[in-house]
Amino acid sequence: MNVVFAPEAEQDLNAAVDFLADRSPPAAAQLLAGVRSLVQRLANADFEGPQQQLRSGQTVRSWPLPPYRLYYQRTDEALRIVRIYHQARQPITR
């Protein structure tokens, strides 16, 4: 399955990795490995997260990758990663 990262998801991931890399390069590498693993398992449809609605009105599914939550949409053609959002921040869901 084709995997597509929305620009917001790319920005989320880059910001998280940059933040961690300044403090702990192994933690940054661990986050990247965790995201890659989770995305691959979602692309393989190993499991499906709960459906939620973002404040923007978009319907998404999500899966935790503590302390982050990955928001995604699945179509027949692609897995679209919408956001990778730190769970301690104000929720982006309704």
Q: What is the pLDDT confidence band of residue 94, given thresholds at 50, 70 and 90? A: confident
Domains of the chain listed by start with CATH number: 2-86 (3.30.2310.20)
pLDDT at 1: 85
Query: For the segment 20-78, what is each residue's pLDDT rounded down to a tens digit?
Result: 999 999 999 999 999 999 999 999 999 999 999 999 999 999 999 999 999 999 999 99
What's the distance, Cα to Cα, between the start and end of the chain in Å? 29
Which pLDDT value is given to residue 83?
Answer: 97
pTM of the full predicted structure?
0.94
Confidence of residue 6 (pLDDT cuts 50, 70, 90): very high
